[in-house]
Amino acid sequence: MKPPCRITLDGNEAVASVAHRTNEVIALYPITPASPIGEWCDEWTAHGRHNIWGHLPEVIEMQSEAGAIGAVHGALQAGSLTTTFTASQGLLLMIPNMYKIAGELTCFCMHVATRTVATHALSIFCDHSDVMACRQTGFALFCASSVQEAHDFACIGQAATLQGRVPFLHFFDGFRTSHEVTKIEELTDDDLRSLLNDQLIVAHRRRGLSPDHPVLRGTAQNPDAFFQAREAGNSYYDTLPEIVQQVMDRFAGQTGRHYQLFDYVGDPQAERVLVLMGSAAETAHETVEHLNRCGEKVGVLKIRLYRPFSIKDFIAVLPSTTRAIAVLDRTKEPGAVGEPLYLDVVAALREASAQGNSHLLQEPRVIGGRYGLSSKELTPAMLKAVFDELAKPQLKNHFTLGIVDDITHTSLPFDPEFTIEADDVIRAVFFGLGSDGTVGANKNSIKIIGEETPAHVQGYFVYDSKKSGARTISHLRFGPRPIRSQYLIRSAHFVACHQFQFLEKLDVLEYARPDAVFLLNAPYSAAEVWDHLPRDAQEQILAKKLRFYVIDAQSVARDMGLGGRINTIMQTCFFAVSGVLPREDAITHIKKAIEKSYAKKGQEVVQRNFAAVDHTLTHLYEVQVPERVSAAFERAPLVADAAPDFVKRVTAVLMAGKGDLLPVSAFPVDGTWPTATSRWEKRGIATEVPIWDPGVCIQCNKCAMVCPHAAIRTKVYEPDHLQGAPSHFQSTDYKAADFKGWKYTIQVAPQDCTGCNLCVMVCPAKDKSAPRHKAINMAPLAPLLEEEKNNYDFFLGIPDPPRDRVSHIDVKSSQFFLPLFEYSGACAGCGETPYIKLLTQLFGDRLLIANATGCSSIYGGNLPATPYTVDKDGRGPAWSNSLFEDNAEFGLGMRLSIDNLSRQAQQLLQRLAPQIGDDLVKEILEADQSSEAGIAAQRRRIAALREKLRTIDATIANQLEQVTDHLVTKSVWLVGGDGWAYDIGFGGLDHVLSMRHKLNVLVLDTEVYSNTGGQASKSTPLGAAAKFAASGKAVHKKDLGLMAMSYGHVYVASVAFGAKDSHTVKAFLEAESFDGPALIIAYSHCIAHGYDLRFGAEQQKLAVNSGIWPLYRFDPRRIHRGEPPLVIDAPAGRNTVEEYRRNEARFAMVEKIDPVRFRQLARAAQDQALQRVALYEQLANITVPQAAAHDPAPNDDAPK
């Protein structure tokens, strides 16, 4: 046996490494946390890396997981070794095909990074609910508990399915295993070849469909045949456990790593045994070893092959002395007798006992518990609590672990102080910003230590759910033994805080153990820094006797020309003060790593980083810690005292990163969550904010229009409201006639602004004496913070102008409407959120949003805070996310329901007309609600109606009272990205558009799967590089608008607010006024396009002016007026497509990969833009015959 090759990588790459080398076709669809597996495979194929048979695996991205598994099924049927990767909802979409694949006894091993299935809420994190939903499919369920095992089992699963013909679902824990970076022994190509039997591969091929030896599969069978045929494959399942064990044994012979179907660890005479699977089994493993050392007779049984469940093998590994068993399930099956694994164990014990096949000395007592839903922590302390429970005379069954259930009292209490962390395992915790490169630097450090020393390493990274100002916490362990601790570090030898402001928001030092090293990046010298620490930080430094180092990394980075990237600097500091490696060795390795990372991208970057490393050590100082606390200030509360009770009790705790401490009773029972909570978050992530100069301003309101976070606002108000204004509050006379004599203010929300610069970039007003100075200009926030906070508070207190006084809605007046979507976690400079904000301004008080999963559902609905908010009357958007794939249908359902309730209300109103009064009823039923004034009038009528109903003593009046709200028009919008509209949800969207129901579809078109990290969609334009189209997409973007126009009855608009904001507003208003389906395709610049988003609006202009993104409106109403329905709203050809493309890395990087292809694609893009413009110009001249307009088609599907 050769000495093993050790590599440092994460679980996804470890699985991809085997899957790519042992398959020929890979069909997939991106989904967190499995997306990177496919991305690795795609990248390797793109780079020409072959599988072990010397062929290039075909990697194909499909339109959904249902599509991916369909392609997999076909590829398998035609004889290729095929795989896929998925998780959660994606796995559920594959289930129908999985039954088929298993029913046909097809050799297939798929890989699943387990993830919670959405229930009351979506979660990207880990539990086994997805895999457990597949128990009935007939797949073998094969569980790895670590990165090494995931690597190994990917191979064993592939070998075993070839031999046993039962398809395998190989799974490992999402994030905890898929994203953990650790050192493993790599399987060589020879290892893989030795385990994958060529004869079996040939047999698989022979079973493939071929007209040269034709067979038929997929028959329809009748009662006479189906049942027997279904039983005909039983023996394959009966023999599979033995086959898997044989493969495991061969694997051990090849690699030295031994596995069993069920691996037992612990005292051979154990009395108390845990049964579980997945990464938690590793924590249980080390906990058991610890308790054994303490003399406790305990053990843990790790399940590898969960299906088929071999009772014989399961019983065999249990110590005969077992008296009590706790089965831990990482899933929840409401209403069941118990969770699935628990039921299996109970049944297995009972069956073995009944058949006399048990060697156990007594019938063990068995209890089951749930743990780890959505990656909830499972620590040794919790596991010890389970063992303690098993020792009690009365056992608590169906318990929960890791939470406090104060409602149904299922939870097991545990001692949070209990810890088994070994002293020789160095633990380090790093707090950073996503944008400062902390995680990347730590991954780099792990690689250095993993690959340059014999130490075992582990890196796990916790990200928050914000896309701007995102906080990261890195947990690193280094030790002499394999690290099995699958939980976060609570007591670290080294704590680094890479952003000084975190100390004011978080208890960073709670992670530090006594005598730990604390490294702080601060804009202060070693002599000054102490006085800038909050009290609790000083207290902990003194109490824990921390060694305290400080560096001004931002200054070093700036001096070295590295911008805000402090990664290299902080990495150097870590090695310099942690003592993990000798300092000089570490610096050599860091430089080697820099060379490796950046050499291809240019020596300048390398040199600058080298210089940063060298300068770091001269700027790193140990702080002489004073003997006593001197801080004059405490860490401020996270939310203001004025916040609602729920926000203080629940939201603020989640914001503080302490949500684990909240008991069950703190939470809503059904996932219903209050809106209007982001306003309390006050993240304060901008260092510069826009400041208004009224003297230059032309009051166009474009700044407010483009703001992605509703953090710069405009207001027009009566002069009286200025009474009591703060001294620095700015105001000027309003210049237009509609609010003559009123005052006008533009005000920034200083703690909600992300500093993206979009507003300043679009500001058209320049100071005539110094044109560099505009009407709004970025200014450092720190000196302005307090006064701008006061100004903003005062601004919010000024009443908004009455909506019904706005007679004409355009860009300017729309920005006087209160945004009901504010301070979301979207990226700084996001190109989507301005559309959503506008939507809420125009129709927010009567708006229902069905939101497809994606970026917009994350910044729209990811806890802790919710950005949708309410107006002064408590009205605002009602929002819900169902799934990724079903959003059009989901929104249609909302429309159907609202129309139903509206019809009921109208009918009840008519029946009660004599009591209510005919005039009021007539006015309500015939009300014109097409304007703000009309809606305001209707609301007044409804208020009068309610008054009247109170005086009517009849059941019917009560019924009407319940639905009066539905007499006011409701606006239903289906919102989602291009991944939804062009790909996974297209079938549903197409169906909804094919009908005549009044609803609006807003497609936030970033031309790529943004939320999952830039995978190509059918909206990705020709020539753009995206994941799964790394060399530049070779086909044109799908013309969704043209498809919708082909129905003839759909309102369609293509908009780009950065190019022509007035057109966007007009399209939104027209869509809303259209009595039928309306589709707006909205150009949304995106971080995945690869440029500084401050130029987002500029790029939109270039896109529109080149013709690559035409602005148009297709309004079927114009057909009735004898006009062409299509109107082109912006001329093309004012710049070339190339002028647009060259500014974005997604296009430009193709040139860096293949300049010839780049030029070909560029020419094709230009040609296509011109052709499309020409087509549209011709369409814009087509007049539909009047007869068609006068004789509309029967409207079978419209509301009756």
Residues belonging to the active site: 32, 65, 115, 1011
Q: Which one, 852 or 1088, has the nearer CB to other proteins?
A: 1088
In degrees and rounded to multiples of 5, residue 155 shows phi and psi of: -75, -45
Spell out, one character per residue from 1122 to 1151, where the chain touches other proteins: x when CB under 8 A holds, - when not: -----------------------xx-xx-x
Structure tokens at 593: 């790593």
| d(C-alpha 213, C-alpha 856), whole Å | 51
* Cβ neighbour number for residue 628 with a 10 Å cutoff: 8
3-state secondary structure of 17: helix
Q: Which one, 355 or 603, has the nearer CB to other proteins?
A: 603
b/e map of 437-456 (b: 16 or more CB within 10 Å)?
bbbbbbbbbbbbbbebeebb
Structure tokens at 873: 């009357």
- At 753, the amino acid letter reads C
Query: Mutual orientation of helices 147-164 and 198-206 as an angle, nearest 10°?
Result: 60
Confirm or reject binding of residue 561 to other proteins (CB under 8 A): yes
Alpha helices of 734-820 — where are they, by DSSP H?
758-762, 785-797, 811-814
Distance of CA 230 to the CA centre of its chain: 40
| Contact pick of 317, 470, 666, 1069 for other proteins (by CB under 8 A) | 470
Whether the bond into 96 is cis, omega within 30 of 0: no
| d(C-alpha 754, C-alpha 1094), whole Å | 11
Q: Residue holding tokens 């997409």? A: 1033
Q: Which one, 168 or 430, has the nearer CB to other proteins?
A: 430
Q: Which one, 259 or 610, has the nearer CB to other proteins?
A: 610
Q: Which one, 306 or 1095, has the nearer CB to other proteins?
A: 1095
Spell out, one character per residue from 564 to 603, where the chain touches other proteins: x when CB under 8 A holds, - when not: -x--------------------------------x-xxxx
* Cβ neighbour number for residue 1195 with a 10 Å cutoff: 12
Q: Residue holding tokens 């989507």? A: 832
How many of the chain's residues bind other proteins (CB under 8 A)? 69
- At 356, the amino acid letter reads G
CB of 26 to other proteins, least distance (A): 16
Question: Among residues 488, 489, 491, 471, which one has the least CA distance to residue 431?
Answer: 471
Residues 474-533 that bind other proteins (CB under 8 A): none
Whether the CB-CB separation of 1034 and 1024 falls below 8 Å is answered with no
* Cβ neighbour number for residue 991 with a 10 Å cutoff: 12
Q: Which one, 562 or 1003, has the nearer CB to other proteins?
A: 562
Q: Residue holding tokens 């007591």? A: 491
Whether the CB-CB separation of 65 and 91 falls below 8 Å is answered with yes
| d(C-alpha 995, C-alpha 1075), whole Å | 12
Residues 42-61 that bind other proteins (CB under 8 A): 42-43, 46-48
Spell out, one character per residue from 597 to 636, where the chain touches other proteins: x when CB under 8 A holds, - when not: -x-xxxxxx-xx----------------------------
| Contact pick of 87, 1087, 1126, 1130 for other proteins (by CB under 8 A) | 1087
Whether the CB-CB separation of 296 and 387 falls below 8 Å is answered with yes
| Contact pick of 407, 1152, 1171, 1188 for other proteins (by CB under 8 A) | 1152
Helices (H) and strands (E) in the chain, counts: 43, 36
Q: Which one, 43 or 990, has the nearer CB to other proteins?
A: 43
Q: Which one, 36 or 138, has the nearer CB to other proteins?
A: 36
Whether the CB-CB separation of 1088 and 1011 falls below 8 Å is answered with no
521 DSSP β-pair partners: 551
| d(C-alpha 690, C-alpha 694), whole Å | 13
Confirm or reject binding of residue 39 to other proteins (CB under 8 A): yes
CB of 915 to other proteins, least distance (A): 56
CB of 708 to other proteins, least distance (A): 15
| d(C-alpha 76, C-alpha 109), whole Å | 11
| d(C-alpha 719, C-alpha 739), whole Å | 11
Spell out, one character per residue from 1028 to 1067, where the chain touches other proteins: x when CB under 8 A holds, - when not: -xx-------------------------------------
| Contact pick of 827, 924, 974, 995 for other proteins (by CB under 8 A) | 827
Query: Mutual orientation of helices 567-578 and 603-619 as an angle, nearest 10°?
Result: 40
Residues 6 or more apart in contact with residue 116 via CB below 8 angstroms: 88, 123, 124, 125, 126, 127, 129, 130, 373, 374, 375
Looking only at Cα atoms, what is the longest distance across the chain?
A: 98
Structure tokens at 379: 């620590």
CB of 507 to other proteins, least distance (A): 22
CB of 1037 to other proteins, least distance (A): 18
Spell out, one character per residue from 953 to 992, where the chain touches other proteins: x when CB under 8 A holds, - when not: ----------------------------------------
Q: Which one, 538 or 887, has the nearer CB to other proteins?
A: 887
CB of 328 to other proteins, least distance (A): 25
Contacting range for other proteins; rule: CB under 8 A; set: 344-352, 429-437, 957-965, 1054-1062: 429-437
Confirm or reject binding of residue 32 to other proteins (CB under 8 A): yes
Q: Which one, 255 or 442, has the nearer CB to other proteins?
A: 442
| d(C-alpha 1098, C-alpha 1166), whole Å | 19
Spell out, one character per residue from 430 to 469, where the chain touches other proteins: x when CB under 8 A holds, - when not: ---xxx-xxxx--x-----------------x-x-xxx--
Q: Which one, 1095 or 1112, has the nearer CB to other proteins?
A: 1095
Contacting range for other proteins; rule: CB under 8 A; set: 28-36, 398-406, 479-487, 966-974: 28-36
| Contact pick of 175, 264, 500, 1068 for other proteins (by CB under 8 A) | 175
CB of 1024 to other proteins, least distance (A): 10
Q: How far apart, in Å, are the Cα atoms of 53 and each of 23, 81, 160, 188, 499?
A: 9, 11, 18, 13, 49
Q: Which one, 178 or 400, has the nearer CB to other proteins?
A: 178
CB of 771 to other proteins, least distance (A): 4
Q: Which one, 678 or 714, has the nearer CB to other proteins?
A: 678
Spell out, one character per residue from 762 to 791, where the chain touches other proteins: x when CB under 8 A holds, - when not: ----x-x--x--------------------
| d(C-alpha 436, C-alpha 429), whole Å | 16
Report the run of H or E that residue 306 belongs to, with start and end. strand 305-307
- Between β-strands 878-880 and 732-733, what pairing exists: parallel, antiparallel or unpaired? unpaired
- At 109, the amino acid letter reads C
Confirm or reject binding of residue 213 to other proteins (CB under 8 A): no
CB of 47 to other proteins, least distance (A): 4
CB of 485 to other proteins, least distance (A): 20
Distance of CA 357 to the CA centre of its chain: 48
Alpha helices of 256-364 — where are they, by DSSP H?
280-293, 311-317, 340-354
Binding site for other proteins (CB under 8 A): 32-33, 35-36, 39, 42-43, 46-48, 124, 175, 179, 433-435, 437-440, 443, 461, 463, 465-467, 470, 472, 561, 563, 565, 598, 600-605, 607-608, 766, 768, 771, 827, 858, 1010-1014, 1025-1027, 1029-1030, 1087-1088, 1090-1092, 1145-1146, 1148-1149, 1151-1155
